[in-house]
Structure 1
Amino acid sequence: MTEPWSGRAAARAAARAESGRSRPSGRGGRRARPAGRGRRFLKIGGISLAVLLLVTAGGGYWLYQHLNGNITSVSLTDGAGKDSAGQEKADAFGRTPINILVMGSDGRTTEADCKLGGGCAKTGVQTGGNADVEMVVHISADRSNATVMSIPRDTLTDVPACENPKTGASTPGYHGMINSALTYGQACQVATVHKLTGIPIDHFIQVDFSGVVSMSDAVGGVSVCVDADVYDTYSHLKLSRGTHTLKGVGALEFLRSRHGFGDGSDLGRTYAQHIYLSSLIRKFKSAGTLTNPAAVYKLANAATKALTVDTGLGSISKLVGLASDLDKVPSKRITFTTMQTGPDPTDPNRVVVGPGAKTLFATIANDQSLTTASGGTSAAASATASASPTATSVPASAITVRVRNGTGIGGRASEIVDTLTGKGFNPATAGGNAPAPAATTTLTYGPGQRSEAGTVARALGIATSHLKEGAVAGLTLVIGADWPSGTTFPGGKSSAPPADTKVALGNSHAQTADDSDTCAKVSRYRTVQINRVPMTPTQAYAAARSKPDSDD
């Protein structure tokens, strides 16, 4: 049985040669549209680059200046309005979270992109494109946890009025696919995501995929797992069931495979990409991965050449600062999610915001962790969309709080107990001394008691960063030295309740970055073709035995 072929094979072979890999020239070609979507791997650069730069920053003045000169930066809001990205809210200690929009375009803006993506035979190097990768990377104000939320490119939403300062293209605003906003500039894409989610966006990172091909080679490949034989005849990913180490173009094939995973839609590709990125993060954090100066330089040089960032990240020193913030978050407390969607009632090929998505947005905007205190994902990570869309309200009269004084100042526990009972909390609420002095105030709640803790936090103005889930039933408030007087937490206002993770994670395919046991689920549908015969990716693998696998 013969394989699909197009004029892009030669370009693809050249790209393989550049990445240090070669394959027989009879490899199948690509359809133009799926190839353009290869930018979905771009999220990799946004998280991993900062870690690399932290290491390379000590390489001397020349290296610093060289990498600095690689970076292209533009304004976060130019052409979309000064308030179009939103504003972060500080916690009681004046700390703010960081939200980064990581995006990638389907345009072929360099010769390298043309070789990898094809589609340039008639047009040559192109300009512009759509943001086919969109991920909000949230780093908490206390740097203890992070959330990475993918937004499917097929989402229909309202694009605000924007003007691209580079091209002059403008729009008064319209309803359309979220990825199309990039036509009017990066600031317009930022404004569109903020408008949809309500999440303030502090920075953006846009990366081209030729840099990531080099990055995967520089780290020695990334380990991924597939749960069945797969051959995506469009992205050309071909792997046997099990675990593989992917480099160069093979990694790109995995990251851009849409027909190979899930139901063959953009959603399945997003889930597989989270597996890849989680593996990459684990590799960066593992001992010895970044100890080879030559490899680190190769990776950082390729990555910075591929970057377009906002001016707030437009230097190595600023990226190193971001690296430092990222490095504080352990892998077990980095949660990957995909925005919940539902089918658009007028177009089956498009999606709209689905049940649970607004709760997920609010959780990120309110700087609430989606992992437990021990780092595990909520038990509802695989919950269905049938979960209640709002947290259950628990009246104060049904809540008893154990108040413990850790300040060393007499009478503090009694003062807070009186405040709580005066606000209608259960009269069984009682005070006492903490077992040891406490520098920081904490409100610990037992399993399933998020709503109760939220009611207490709102009553006392306690910032959400001071709320923690414990293993023992009940609520315990330890008053720390940061709250020496008064009955409202310093700087505290009415605070949001703890995250309802059952709803926020429901149907979002959530996983944490330390999960090394998850395999990408190969599509069981007839999503691919050979000789115009529809078949499943596993059937296609069996029919293409002579074609080398992507990890060969």
Structure 2
Amino acid sequence: MQRAAPSRAPSRRAHYRDVYYTDDAPRPPEPPARGRLWRVLGWVSIAMSAVLVAGSLSAYGFWRRLDGQIDREHVDDKLGANRPAKLNNSMNILMIGSDSRAGENARYGQEVGQRSDTTILLHISPGGEQALGISFPRDSMVNLPSCRRTGGGSSPPQLAMINAAFSTGGPACTWRTIESLTRIHIDHFVEVDFAGFKRVVDALNGVEICVPRRIDDPKAELHLRAGPQTVRGDQALGYVRTRYVLGDGSDLDRIKRQQAFMASVVKKATDKGMLTDPGRTFSFLSAATRSIKADDRFTLSVMQKLAGSLRGMSAGKVRFVTVPVQPYPADRNRVQFNQALAEPLFRSIREDNAPPAEPAAPAPVPAQRPSGVPPVPPVPPAQVNVAIYNATRLKGLGRRTADQLTGRGFQVVRVGTRAVPAGAPTQILYGAGAERQAARLAIALPGHPPRPWPGGRPGYVYLVIGKDGAVLSGAKRPMPQVSGEIRADRNICDRT
């Protein structure tokens, strides 16, 4: 339950961690709300991290058994010679959802060949600093490169929908296509079909979703009540695949649901109760490894290394975005990449280098004190309770700054917005008795000497982000924010 705030004239409202706050003058913050630690993103990454928690020889043997269940494919000789260079130590995994009707999938109707029902490029920054899942709309018209056909021979370069790459040459052709369009070096691929998707969801004992209205679609075998609920098996598959009974019928709208669903999968798979239950963990990992296909270089040692880098990743550092698109002039039912917006996103991934080494701590920035009074020594970040207020028009800046400060050990107790005079600079303010805490925050955010604020709560520090932003010492430039992104720490009933 939230503590009652002093009576003040409300202005705009800000939303953070599912709690709304008015955003006039900063009010006494509340105790910090700690976020769940997320270790992984995606089908294989979830499995890897859960096992590595044990870190024992028995876990290694367990890994070996699971590793043997993965169907693998050799693709190196199908990717061509003119591949993008690898410029950093990040990892890029191409995740493909196949709509094949072979084998267990025959009950979903007869289709010739197979297409990529879903295509996501999972980018994991060096050291597991952040993760970004980029969805490529299947209705995108793109230039496909020449590929080796699944049945032999080669396909010519052509203009076609992006999912035609999979039907032409399988995962290798989709891999080659995404690399040619983005100039991003891809390291591995993971493919899952309808039956595999259902096995994974059922092994989790269902995944929670939120539906805006009641759905009854006999043709799609989809029957859902309004509001939050847990779906399994065919209901889960119908929910992520349907286009016409939910939303506006577009593939872009369906992608939003798929991204929200993936966030719920990660949350469920990394639930504390599951990770401490060996039986549940084994059932999930066994279902996951029996349900995927991967390239033969995605070995046990690679998966273990990846899992280790992802341990400790917070939910706020996991995002899902869709490649920016615009209408395709020749066909209103198709789209094309908006290169002016897409290229900065692709470039940021290509150039996502490891953050620079942490610089030597500068001398404490003194608060404004009377002449002749020496500065106070700072305290450790864990002892700093800081409320953050975004006074700019850059949506999400306060939350991103909160994630960065939390990653450095600060206790972020509130995030909101505040109106300040146009052109006002970033300020570090502090209440009575918080001078040493403010000095520590000023080290992390150099160039903003802290000032006492009589209206602040005793012992608390206030960061008001103004025109000069909030650039942490040693931090690299963040990836650009894409309209409509979904963060993995969202409330499942937030509109997408």
**Would the TM-score normalized by the shorter structure come out above 0.5?**
yes
Q: Secondary structure at the match of 2:259?
A: helix
1:70 corresponds in structure 2 to 69
2:352 maps to 1:361: no
Q: Following TM superposition, by how much is the alpha carbon of 1:475 offset from its aligned partner in structure 2, in angstroms?
A: 7.1
- Equivalent of 2:259 in 251, 274, 278: 274
Question: Contact 1:76/1:203 (CA < 8 Å) preserved in 2?
Answer: no
User: Would the aligned equivalents of 1:80 and 1:161 in 2 still touch at CA under 8 Å?
Assistant: no
Query: Considering only aligned residues, what root-mean-square deviation do their CA atoms show, in Å?
Result: 3.6
Aligned partners of 1:97 and 1:141 also within 8 Å: yes
Q: Residue by residue, what CA displacement relative to the aligned partner does 1:178-232 show, whole Å, maximum 9, x if unpaired?
A: 1111221322211111111222212211112322212212222111101111234
The one-letter amino acid of 2:110's match is: G
Change (3 A) 1:477 1:241: closer
Within 5 Å, give how 1:312-391 maps onto structure 2: 312-315=297-300, 317-354=301-338, 356-367=341-352, 372-375=400-403
Change beyond 3 A, Cα 1:82–1:257: same
Task: Note closer, same or farther for the CA distance 1:157–1:74 as it changes in structure 2 (3 Å cut).
Answer: same
Aligned counterparts of 1:108 and 1:470: Cα–Cα separation in 2:
55
Structure 1 residue runs without a partner (length 5+): 1-42, 91-95, 121-125, 377-397, 402-433, 447-468, 481-494, 522-552
- In structure 2, the CA distance between the partners of 1:82 and 1:242, relative to structure 1 (3 Å rule), is same
Q: Which amino acid is 1:272 matched to?
A: R
Give the secondary-structure state (helix, strand or coil) at the position aligned to 1:289: helix
- Residues 106-143 of structure 1 show CA distances to partners (whole Å, capped at 9, x for unaligned) of 2123x22224x2327xxxxx8x5222211011111242
CA contact (8 A) 2:52 2:59 kept: no
TM-score, normalised to structure 1, is: 0.59
Task: Give the Cα separation in 2 of the matches to 1:160 and 1:374.
Answer: 42
Matches within 5 A, 1:448-527: 471=465, 474=468, 498-501=478-481, 505-506=482-483, 509-519=484-494
Q: Does 1:178 align with 2:162?
A: yes
Shift of 1:288: 1.3
Alpha carbons of structure 1 residues 361 and 478: separation in structure 2 relative to 1, 3 Å: closer
**Separation in 2, partners of 1:443, 1:113:** 55
8 Å contact 2:92–2:124 — kept in the other structure?
yes
Deviation at 1:346, TM superposition (A): 1.1
Counterpart residue identity of residue 103, structure 1 = I
Q: What's the offset of the Cα at 1:260? A: 2.6
Paired position in structure 1 for 2:91: 98
Answer whether contact 1:333 1:375 (CA < 8 A) is retained: yes
Partners of 1:158 and 1:330 lie apart in 2 by 37
C-alpha distance in 2 between matches for 1:470 and 1:198? 38
Task: Find the aligned partners of 1:242 and 1:471 in 2 and give their Cα distance.
Answer: 36
Q: Secondary structure at the match of 1:351?
A: strand
1:89 equivalent among 76, 83, 87: 87
Partners of 1:198 and 1:50 in 2: how far apart?
28
Q: What is the alpha-carbon distance in structure 1 between the residues aligned to residue 55 and residue 217 of structure 2?
A: 40
Q: Are the counterparts in 1 of residues 69 and 290 from structure 2 also a CA contact under 8 Å?
A: yes
Match in the other structure for 1:45: 43
Q: Is the 8 A contact 1:232 1:259 kept in 2?
A: no
Any idea what the Cα deviations from partners look like across 1:399-455, whole Å, max 9, x if unmatched?
x99xxxxxxxxxxxxxxxxxxxxxxxxxxxxxxxx968x9xx988699xxxxxxxxx
Contact map agreement 1:155 1:353 (CA 8 A) in 2: yes
Instruction: Give the distance between the partners of 1:470 and 1:89, measured in 2 at CA.
Output: 36
Tell me the distance in 2 between the aligned counterparts of 1:276 and 1:476.
Answer: 32
- Distance (Å, rounded) in 1 between the aligned partners of 2:196 and 2:169: 24
Alignment of 1:129-278 (within 5 A): 129-164=114-149, 167-182=151-166, 183-278=168-263
Aligned pairs, number: 367
What SS does structure 1 have at the residue aligned with 2:100? coil
Give the secondary-structure state (helix, strand or coil) at the position aligned to 2:274: coil
Closer, same or farther in 2 for the Cα pair 1:300/1:443, shift >3 Å? same
Alignment correspondent of 1:113: 105
Name the % identity: 30
**Cα deviation, residue 250, structure 1:** 1.7
CA displacement at 1:289 relative to structure 2: 2.1
TM-score when scaled to structure 2? Answer: 0.65
For residue 374 of structure 1, give the secondary structure of its aligned residue in structure 2.
Answer: helix
SS at match of 2:78: coil
User: In the superposition, relative to structure 1, how do residues 83 and 62 fare at CA in structure 2: closer, same or farther (>3 Å)?
Assistant: same
